[in-house]
Structure 1
């Protein structure tokens, strides 16, 4: 699972495909996880990208 901002969501999608060889699942971060930061730049995360 990767948390990413709007700017880095394409990189997160590519990373999931490369690592797990499957379609990624893209979810919008809800109000409970707004303090979660992007794993690429530390800005607030907008999306969660997962393999399942």
Structure 2
């Protein structure tokens, strides 16, 4: 759990109750989307490495 919080913190994404979320202004939507996707990919890589 701590590792997931650390990964999400690197991309300014919140991990709370198993949900990844990015909040901000509408004008920041493209960068928030990019951050959320990058976080998902990093967590997926972590899962695949564990297997």
TM over 0.5, shorter chain: no
TM-score (norm 2): 0.37
Higher gyration radius (CA): 2
TM-score (norm 1): 0.36
The structure where helix makes up a greater share of residues is 2
